[in-house]
Amino acid sequence: MLLRVDHVTRYHYDRPVRSVVQSHRLTPSVFQGQRVIDWEVTVSDGRRGAEFRDGAGDVIQGWTVAGPVNEIVVTVRGAVETQDLAGVLKRHRETVSPDCYLRATGPTRTDKALSELARSVDAADPLALAHALSDCVADAISYRPGVTHAHTTAAEALALGEGVCQDHAHALIAVARAREMPGRYVSGYLHATEDGTLHEAAHAWAEVYVAGLGWVGFDPANRCCPDERYIRLGSGFDAQDAAPIRGIARGGAQEELDVSLAVLAGQQ
């Protein structure tokens, strides 16, 4: 499947800032399930900095903008050819041990309810267990935008019983770790839901490490594994760690954020 992305993030400051430094995870991952046809990231008035591939295999790109400046626009445009690998992350080069993803962070720390949820399912093998954990998270947390926020934890989302893809991913990571299976957060893009209706184009899911198979993606929000509708950008311990754009502005101004994003099926 050929997917075309047009993603514009606009930062506006109520007074000029002296400078802005950003770190991007906006380059599609290199693995068997996707191939970049063309891809470009630009930052208005920005100066491209160092680029490197981290231990998890993600491309990190630095940018700086010298002020004074009131507005910065980050534009991502490109096309990626994808294929359905049933969620398995094949031929993705990384050097960190999967065991490092057994470490909990604030958003993914388990409480009694998450531990009980993790123990409520069982399966004959690790892959079946990972699927069962994803299903139980989907059953426990209904998809409902607007009820949680950027800093909601997995435990809080489970107690509420509602949330968005970020909450589903954090909860799956938490219950997987409770069953001694490494789990990590993945950020990317999504073309559409299974029935063809539009979904959040900027999307997140989780990957669980399955012994003998490797990393496998699970999307409890859509009750599926990532397929040809998904573009994988990067991963991390949680949403903040895997954020496509991270940065800091010097000057103490109030920031407003506006995002427009379209992920469309296209032809070469």
pLDDT tens for each residue of 173-202: 999 999 999 999 999 999 975 554 545 568
Give the architecture (CATH level 2) of 2-81+245-265: Sandwich (2.60)
**How many of the other CB atoms lie within 10 Å of CB of 180?**
10
| Angle formed at CA 125 by CA 119 and CA 128, multiple of 5 degrees | 75
Distance CA 119, CA 254 (A): 45
Per-residue pLDDT, averaged over 152-159, amounts to 98
Task: Determine the pLDDT at residue 198.
Answer: 45
Tell the CATH topology of 84-236: C8orf32 fold (3.10.620)
Alpha-carbon distances, residue 213 vs 6, 11, 237, 261 (angstroms): 33, 41, 20, 33
Q: For residue 252, what pLDDT band results from cuts at 50, 70 and 90?
A: confident
Question: Phi/psi class of residue 237: alpha, beta or left (left: φ > 0; alpha: ψ in -120 to 50)?
Answer: alpha
Note the pTM of the prediction, 2 decimals: 0.94
Same fold, 2-81+245-265 and 84-236: no
Residue with the two structure tokens 């626009």:
73
- Taking the domains of the chain in order of start, what are their residue ranges? 2-81+245-265, 84-236
pLDDT tens for each residue of 79-120: 999 999 999 999 999 999 999 999 999 999 999 999 999 999
